[in-house]
Amino acid sequence: MAFVGTHRLNIPFLLLCLSFILLSHSSQGARSYSEFRYPFIKRASSFSSLSSSTYSSGHGENVYDYIIVGGGTAGCPLAATLSKKFNVLLLERGGVPFANSNVSFLSNFHIALADLSPTSASQAFISTDGVLNARARVLGGGTCINAGFYTRASSRFIEKVGWDAKLVNQSYPWVEKQIVHRPKLSPWQTAFRDSLLDVGISPFNGFTYDHLYGTKFGGTIFDRFGRRHTAAELLATADPHKLTVLVYATVQNIVFDTTGKQPKAVGVIFKDENGNRHQAVLRNRRQSEVILSSGALGSPQMLLLSGIGPRADLEKLNISVVLDNEFVGKGMADNPMNTVFVPTNKPIKKSLIQTVGITKFGVYIESSSGFGQSSDSIRCNHGMMSAEIGQLSTIPPKQRTWEAVQAYITRKRDLPQEAFQGGFILEKIANPLSTGQLTLANTNVDDNPSVTFNYFNHPYDLHRCIDGIRTAAKVVQSKHFREYTKNTGETIEKLLNATVKANVNLIPKHTNDTKSLEQFCRDTVITIWHYHGGCHVGKVVSPDLKVLGVSRLRVVDGSTFDESPGTNPQATVMMMGRYMGLKILKDRLGKTAGI
């Protein structure tokens, strides 16, 4: 995280590195049932496991037409939709977001990422590339820990994935009417808009959800009071008599019947918050399904843990092979991001992403500003990013392992809050051609898998990054930011140097970073949390997202994408949950679906 001087801290890097900072306590510990908001949400320990005879037969009262693994961005709208006609069990490994002030308020955006406790809404991980990252662990998924920006996918993306455009255009508004808002623009975002237009990212398309070349304002899931509205609130439209949501329910594996011509999903095994194991069973009908909605990391991980994946990899971990498929976990990608910090001569009001520049050279330009936290947030230890202690300069680059970072942070607890002045310009690569893979580190589902994204492995991605950094630099130098930056005395080279020195990731740095933009891109790459892939259509799942080679198993989330939709994917992933729910109902019931 770059900072200039002793009291200016770069927030985009702060947001990423705070994912790994220890806290004295968690804001999401044991909760009363009233905080679950909806009567169908219960703790996993309340579940009554079935007898072995019921499990094998798929008959009885406590069986389900659909078992959805993952109550996240896609899983919540999917469960709400399917419950209109069928009995649905939604299993979420995390807790609820409703009473967690660090999830609920824009002012605490970075705080949720800082919580490393077992019940945190976010789970930190580091890719093998050395980039710090986080994945959601809460009902509502990524919509609980992201920057809130809402914008639709391009029409090209919808056509490419083969979705019914009419049904898509019914599904987006269903989400938007419930949780999406028009943002109240901050002066910083207005200046950013004018700067984008000055550097040629035009025309100005005003406020719109649509993906259009030029500059625009998008929607947000934060309301005018700065309160976050998540995918979990889409459950309000469910049939409360047909939906059961279990939180703190960690699925261990999918259970298959392998006696037929091809493996058939019959249920799942999960553990509750006390560590006790339970069995959830599908109704014994051909169209009943287990649906994975665990995200780009969770869904391929669950397939592998359940015996679907490359045979050699599974056998190394003594996992019984249900289906040999070499493509599970392959094609993982993340939209790489780099940033330019803009120090200001006065404090700036906090704003997350509201404005975006969509270029024709394959780069998105966004901005954010300010820093703060509410009085009722958990105490945040800023650790290695504290302005008082500097960065990990005492640890040589090659020794900056995760363990070293942890030990360093542990020694730097209870630090005072920094005074922050400034904002930042982000450039991120659209549709990266560089891809990697996901493999199991072990057979413990609570542990993160091993993920490699191979950032900038493809030369075209690196070329676009250079163009993006140059564009971001022009934006910083625009006359519209001079009111904020005059008298700061910082040149672009100094700002880039500050980024290089700030340990934004665990990648060893080079001394010529600011002279070589290629090296700068490689050495200062960070994530924007838009990873996708691992369960690609045509390789792991069919066009209707059914897992190839097995029956009664489907994947509905971003792991099926080979590119991240639009400038920010949450709108399309929520829409996808609604869309696939409607499609499943129509395919199964025809005109009688009545949705």
Active site residues: 530
3-state secondary structure of 191: helix
- Cβ neighbours around 313 below 10 Å, total: 16
Could you tell me which residues are annotated as the binding site? 92-93, 138, 251, 529-530, 558, 569-570
Helices (H) and strands (E) in the chain, counts: 16, 24
Q: How many whole angstroms separate alpha carbon 314 and alpha carbon 261? A: 22
Numbered residues of the known binding site for FAD: 92-93, 138, 251, 529-530, 558, 569-570
Alpha helices in 268-423 (DSSP H): 295-305, 311-316, 402-410
Bridge partner residues of 204 (DSSP): 215
DSSP E strands in 359-492: the ranges are 363-369, 423-429, 436-439, 450-452
Task: Describe the strand order of the beta sheet including 289-292 as a list of residue ranges.
Answer: 41-43, 243-247, 88-92, 66-69, 289-292, 553-555
Q: In the chain, what are the helix, strand and coil shares in percent, each to the nearest 5?
A: 30, 20, 50
Cβ atoms of 230 and 112 within 8 Å: the answer is no
Cα–Cα dist 43/245, whole Å: 8
What's the CA angle centered on 229, arms 216 and 576, to 5 degrees?
A: 70
What end-to-end distance do the CA atoms of the chain give, in Å? 48
User: Which residues neighbour 132 within 8 Å (Cβ) at sequence distance 6 or greater?
Assistant: 16, 17, 19, 20, 124, 126, 504, 505, 506, 526, 527
CA 593 to chain centre: 32
